[in-house]
Structure 1
Amino acid sequence: MAATELKAQARTGVGKGAARALRREGLIPAVIYGDKKPPLPVSISYNEALKRIYAGGFLSHVITLDVDGEKHKVIPRDYQLDPVKDKPLHVDFLRVGAGARINVQVAVHFVGEDKSPGIKRGGVLNIVHHTLELSCPADAIPEQVTVDLAGLDIGDPIHLDAVQLPTGVQLHGHEIDPTVATIVAPSGMRAEEAEAGAAESAAPAGETKE
């Protein structure tokens, strides 16, 4: 995942009043923390923050934050939005040290629908995990985790152990082998199977021949 650059300015004012003053200037407050260094209050462009947050993947991209000419390698860790207008109000950046590993949420991407017998028969892809939390080298965060549906039929689950993760990337979390998705029967097929089962149960038992 290629690093991108974002301009920032060091700031001295803190508190609600200072934050409101920044927003009137088209900026929002942010802070850089971590890597055993003191927090650094900064401000960034409101428009840039808005664009990057809504472009997707904001919290899984390492970026270079240029603070008045001094460059910091960081990853966005959290952001605050206005609860009514959904406008960015604040961003937290985590410093990324050399050789660091970080935990990130990475999107799951599905391919091979045209080669899945289950989907060809009308099955529906039921996605259990749209993202996975992975432990990755900070300089090698995958853009996505790709899951191939080729050869899968209705009722087949897709477990993470069947998915090839990039070298050095590991699942982070409590589930050892989570189900990423399943291919389920369409509602019409499920209804027909249920009716057939009910009819079979209700049918009178046949006479036993002597």
Structure 2
Amino acid sequence: MTRRIDAAGLSHIMQWEGKRLTSYRDVAGIWTVGFGHTDAAGPPKVFAGMKITEEQAAEILRSDLAKFEERVSRLVKVPLTDNQFSVLVSFDFNTGSLHKSTLLKRLNAGQYDAVPGELMKWVNAGGKRVQGLVNRRAAEAGLWAKGEFVSSNTVPAAPIASPLLTKENVSWGAGILSTLGFSSVGPGPLQWALAAVLVGAFAIGAFFFIKSRVNPS
């Protein structure tokens, strides 16, 4: 089943392709229109002086991406986050070379952390290093690492665990102690006794929570 990129992935591609409603030649000299549409992607055929509307540009892009969404869905054999899937669609849409890349081979071998470096090898156009492509590959590498899987060629991919302590958790705990320990009773020994009980209960709960995260089995 073919997977589709999410809204964030679509926005990423739109940003880096740029929207041009009048045809132009790209850095490789190829006639382009809309969000990076060329004849190689299929109809409509791009020609000098061609003009399209914003709605047509979006429709053409979605149509163009379908081919690359299918290719990534078929070629990649390991699990991907939405961001990682979007990166590969963006990369393949831009280069058309995912199928023959070392990037794909290393990724399918479980080497997720090799992908950013492999992306940075694809920064030339017309035989020259292009700063725009350097920037695009860097942005793709950053999106790849956002919420990435922790894995290697010997460790199965698994989502990164959320932080044990967050600002929200600390605020929540402090709020409970403040409300129950200091607001429900007047000042005095009883106040501090109740606070001590709450702190102890919170510490015990935190201990078992952390233990379950470190050693989930």
Q: TM-score, normalised by structure 1?
A: 0.29
Q: Which has the higher strand share?
A: 1
TM-score, normalising length: structure 2: 0.28
Structure of greater relative contact order (alpha carbons < 8 Å, 6+ residues apart): 1
